[in-house]
Structure 1
Amino acid sequence: MASTDGVAISLFSGAGGLDLGAEAAGFKVRAAVERDRDASLTMEKNFDTLASPVIQKDILDTPTSEILKAAGLRSGQRPDLLIGGPPCTPFSKSGFWLEWKRQGLDPDASLLQAYTRVLKDAQPRAFVLENVYALTYNNKASRPALTRLLKEIDEAGYNFNMKVLNAADYGVPQARPRLFIIGAPKGKPTPVHPDATHGGKWERRATGLIEGRPHVTAGEALEGLITDPEREEKIGGKYGHLLPGIPPGDNYLHYTERREHPDPQFEWRSRYWSFLLKLDPNRPSPTIQAQPGPNIGPFHWENRRLRTAEVKRLFTFPDEFELVGTRGSVQAQLGNSVPPLLGQKVLENVRIALGGAR
């Protein structure tokens, strides 16, 4: 096969967080598939390496040949890299309260098969598949889906390594655990996951030694950032007035009898953990969601919603990165993203496995 000089193909591209990581690691994202219009326009506005406009259609209706053609690949050429994070709706922790999701009946689960179909057809020299860490759960939705996914990767001709990485352990000012499956064709060096560069406590690791440099905090990430107020930043509704009374780093549990609040408003553990959750400037941000409800944080310690520029900082997107769409659309694009810095660390190891030259 002819050399393609670091050509990467991106599936389920979203706003391009993983793509920014790939480019920082030395790859060139030449083709992208993303059905959301705003996210597609965001990609086109920020990536000048694309050989063609973003393929703005459902990947289930997009043959691999069309994707390879969009990347400018000729007959006999294959990409160096395939990246992508199929939508995580069927396996996300926040969706497990729905019985039909726990039973594994979400049709979006088939998007994992769309990824492995392109993997098998395109035969890239390496691949990175990112997803929610809940895909590793031992339940009726996740276990069969993961088993099938790994079987299809094997049948496509690839060895792989699989690991859940917390973005905060790699210098991202956000505690965001995500599953990364990385691999290469059988008989070639298999990429390994990067070692953590930072350490500290977070919601799922409350005790233990802190190894490496301390986690980057939300306060450090937002220091010196000048932002304009946004219309959507005010907290209203039935419970918005309670936010100022919550200490930084705490949530609705502050207003419970167990915490000895003089006027309890909630029963203990009666709400989701991020309900009225406020950032602590001395710790990384908790996971920022794509579609938070009206009282779902994290909120700024100044008792408001985070502004777009602040969310970008907490994901390690460049300040100059431009997002297209309404404030809700922008939130979804960022909330669904792989933090670019985490993507870069993963993909630097993938490039090493490829020999660093391609």
Structure 2
Amino acid sequence: MKKFNVIDIFAGCGGLSDGFKKGGSFNLLGAVEWETAPAKNLINRLESRWGYKDAKERVLIFDIQRTEELFRGWKNDLKYGENKGLDEIVGESSVDLIIGGPPCQAYSIAGRIRDKDGMKNDYRNYLFESYMKVVKKYRPKAFVFENVQGMLSASPGGTPVTELIKKEIEDAGYVILEDLKEHALLDLTEYGIPQKRNRVIILALNRDYYKNPEKILLDFYHRILPSYKESKVTVSDAIGNLPKLYPAEKDFKVNGKKYSHYLSNIKVLNHEPRYHNRRDVKIFQELTKDIEEGNFQYVTTEALKRLYTERTGKVSNVHKYYVLRRNEQSNTIPAHLYKDGLRHIHPDSTQARTITVREAARLQTFDDDYEFISSSGDNYKMIGNAVPPKFAEKLAHAVFEVLSQEIEENDMIGNSLNASL
């Protein structure tokens, strides 16, 4: 089977890369990520799981906005060190596909609400332009652009993001479908992801390779990709069999680190409880018992805000607490989980805690053999920023079908020409 060469841009810790590798039909030429912690985790994953001995060279830790240096290489940079650059890594290989999505905070509705200027001036609004410079440089047959639902309503500088993106893509010689909300907005729970996560998945096709790109794209969104849907997976399905972590009678320390919950004797990578003060442990017990016992006193926003004020003496415009429902999908695993886990409380009242790094990873569908090697804060953040690998694998299979269509068309053309000679 032919393998297609792929470059992963804004790779993070490798949610997309892992899925595309598991799909079995893609060879990762290189990946670009400008944050050190997720890049190091990606390198470790490529070495330990996928056998890339040159992973440190293939993963470029660099600012994509410095595009020319990204291509040609850089030396003696105080922040990024040195690397030979993408051009040398790609070499004589053809780049068949580029995947990735610029940081989504500037496009997210939640991010725009939190920012006093609605994130109009956020530089991340324009990282797509740098992404497109890479596309224009290597001219892949297709590229995949992933982002949050909020990009469909974002208007930095007063111009809708979707208009900016569509113009940039068309000017580069690629085709996407007109109505992204109708075609490209996906509910990932339909693909076996145990969390509520809506994402925009844009597949763009190179006009030089495809005779009827619009027809192929319609087929991709409405037949090929939906064929990989599966039954919905619940929180209990995802994390229910992990070792339980019970609250201790009093705080204790292990190797100088403070704990509020006992550690499990059964070792599972990254399954270690966060520290919680006594007040929060009691609140978690009360909230989870309220649901377990069917009282449902604390399931409305107003009730949760009132509880927060009563227990902390503080006032919040949004409710701070949310208990995961055992038999439903989790709420979205966000990047800011590293700051605050109160909206991801474990549903078991006997454990009275928020979710661990491993539980967040399972809700994002990372395999248990993916070892997160950074601080717990960095681990939570990179997991929340990632594309769920299980969905990425399904996406890889679907994109492979589209890329293979192009090969079949060329073979048919070639056979016709040979027959006429």
Regarding TM over 0.5, the answer is yes
Q: Does 1:183 align with 2:191?
A: no
Cα separation, 2, equivalents of 1:328 and 1:37: 13
Matches within 5 A, 1:268-307: 271-272=317-318, 275-292=320-337, 293-294=339-340, 296-302=342-348, 303-307=352-356
Aligned AA (1:235): H
Structure 1, 109-118 or 331-340: larger mean CA deviation:
109-118
Change (3 A) 1:68 1:260: closer
Aligned match of 1:246: 287
Structure 1 residues 138, 57: closer, same or farther in 2, change over 3 A?
A: closer
Determine the C-alpha separation between the residues in 1 that align with 2:112 and 2:155: 10
Supply the distance in 1 between the matched residues of 2:18 and 2:340 (Cα, whole angstroms).
30
Q: Is the 8 A contact 2:305 2:318 kept in 1?
A: no
Provide the C-alpha distance between the structure 2 equivalents of 1:180 and 1:165, rounded to a whole number of angstroms: 7
Q: Distance in 1 between matches of 2:110 and 2:140?
A: 33
CA 179–238 in structure 1, closer or farther in 2 if over 3 Å, else same: farther
Q: Does 1:124 align with 2:155?
A: no
Partner of 2:163: 147
Contact 2:152-2:161 at 8 Å conserved across structures: no
* 1:252/1:196 CA distance change after superposition, 3 Å: farther
> Structure 1, unaligned stretches of length 5 or more?
199-212
Q: Output the TM-score relative to the length of structure 2.
A: 0.71
Q: Say whether residues 1:343 and 2:343 are aligned partners.
A: no
Matched, 1:322 2:371: yes
Letter in 2 for 1:21: G
Return closer, same or farther for 1:281/1:98 CA change in 2, 3 Å cut-off.
closer
2:382 and 2:365 map into 1 onto residues whose CA distance is 14
Q: How does 1:29-108 map to 2 (within 5 A)?
A: 29-47=28-46, 48-49=51-52, 52-63=57-68, 65-66=71-72, 67-74=85-92, 77-98=93-114, 100-102=116-118, 104-108=120-124
2-side partners of 1:141 and 1:196: how far apart?
Answer: 39
Gaps of 5+ in 2: 73-84, 245-262, 265-270, 408-421
Does the aligned pair in 2 maintain the 1:10–1:84 contact within 8 Å? yes
Match of 1:195 in 2: 226
**Residues 296 and 215 of structure 1: CA distance in aligned 2, closer, same or farther (over 3 Å):** same
Matched position secondary structure for 1:82: strand
Please give the per-residue CA displacement for 1:84-135, whole angstroms capped at 9, x wherever unaligned: 1100121112212245542621112121111111111111111111111100
> CA-to-partner distance for each residue in 1:223-250, whole Å, 9 max, x for gaps?
3333756665243387663222224598
Q: Residues of 1 paired with 2:152 and 2:118: CA distance?
A: 13
Which deviates further from its counterpart, 286-295 or 298-307? 286-295
The structure whose Rg is larger is: 2
In structure 1, the residue corresponding to 2:226 is in which secondary structure? coil
1:259–1:81 Cα change, 3 Å? closer
C-alpha spacing 1:167/1:101, structure 2 compared with 1 (3 Å) = farther
Residue 170 of structure 1 is matched in structure 2 by: 191
Question: Which structure carries more helix by proportion?
Answer: 2
Contact 1:127 1:184 in 2 (8 A): yes
Is the CA contact (8 Å cut-off) linking 1:279 and 1:299 kept in structure 2? yes
Distance (whole Å) between structure 2 residues aligned to residue 100 and residue 257 of structure 1: 27
Letter in 2 for 1:339: P
Q: How many residues align?
A: 335
Alignment partner, residue 8 of structure 2:
10
**Equivalent residue letter for 2:190:** D
Matched, 1:20 2:18: yes
CA RMSD of aligned residues (A): 3.2
Deviation at 1:140, TM superposition (A): 4.9
Closer, same or farther in 2 for the Cα pair 1:309/1:87, shift >3 Å? same
Instruction: Look up the match of 1:207.
Output: none
> Is 1:311 aligned with 2:360?
yes
Cα contact 1:222–1:313 (8 A) shared by 2: yes
3-state SS of the aligned residue for 1:354?
helix
CA contact (8 A) 2:190 2:232 kept: yes
Aligned partners of 1:135 and 1:143 also within 8 Å: no
Give the Cα separation in 1 of the matches to 2:380 and 2:63.
Answer: 21
Looking at structure 2, the residues matched to 87 and 133 of structure 1 have their Cα atoms a distance apart, in angstroms, of 13
Q: Is the 8 A contact 1:14 1:40 kept in 2?
A: yes
**Which deviates the most, 101-110 or 121-130?**
101-110
Q: Do the aligned partners of residues 277 and 186 (structure 1) sit closer, same or farther apart at CA in structure 2, a change above 3 Å counting?
A: same
Aligned-pair identity (%): 25
Is this contact kept in 2: 1:246–1:254, CA < 8 A?
no
Runs ≥4 in structure 1, deviation > 6 angstroms?
258-261, 263-266
